[in-house]
Amino acid sequence: MLFSTYRRTRSGAAAICLGLVLALPALADGPQIQVKHSEKIGDYLTDSEGNTLYLFGKDEQGMSTCHDACARAWPPLLTDGAASAGAGVDADRLSTTKRKDGTTQVTYGGWPLYRFVKDGAPGDIHGQEVNGFGGEWYAVSPAGGKAEAGETGDQSDGSSGGSGESW
């Protein structure tokens, strides 16, 4: 009886270990980028958990300029794998860039993607048109620019006025 219990326990442990090993590739996958809609700003991108994704007007295409205190207020969307495109997201616009600290950040249409610490729940859009850290912040549209209600196409220049809120 004791030997039988030992064998079952050992077999169960082996099955758990095998399951963890098989799950590791899934853990390394990147986030899924999705599209949500708001009456305020129209269609915009979110991460897998529904958190709004923002672009920073001061960034150069493909390169983040938001580090240190900026990155604490606007956490970059980091990944260990490739991001995937949900419905309405153009997979060809998804890519990554290396940050100065060596981490990998997801980009869309060349813009590094960020979340905002003041967005307390999925669907919050408190970072729209915020002026902080030397530039303006906008939710990202599926077209790859700033999300604005009634606008279509790519407005990726980040040149319109902000709300005056600053950090």
Are 57 and 72 within one domain? yes
Instruction: Give yes or no: residues 54 and 111 share one domain.
Output: yes
Measure Cα distances from 37 to 10, 20, 119, 129, 148 in Å: 50, 36, 16, 17, 11
Q: How confident is the model over 63-103, as pLDDT tens digits?
A: 999 999 999 999 999 999 999 999 999 999 999 999 999 99
Max avg pLDDT among 4-8, 80-84, 111-115, 151-155:
111-115
Give the chain's mean pLDDT: 81
**Statement to judge: residues 3 and 63 lie in one domain:** no
- In Å, what is the CA distance from 104 to each residue of 49, 80, 82, 119? 19, 7, 10, 22
| 167, part of any domain | no
Same domain (yes/no): 21, 86: no
pLDDT digits (tens, 9 = 90+) for 121-131: 999 999 999 99
Q: What is the pLDDT of residue 24?
A: 37
> Above 90 in pLDDT, residue 10?
no
The whole model's pTM is what? 0.75
CB distance 106 to 29 below 8 Å: no
- Whether the predicted pLDDT of 1 surpasses 80: no
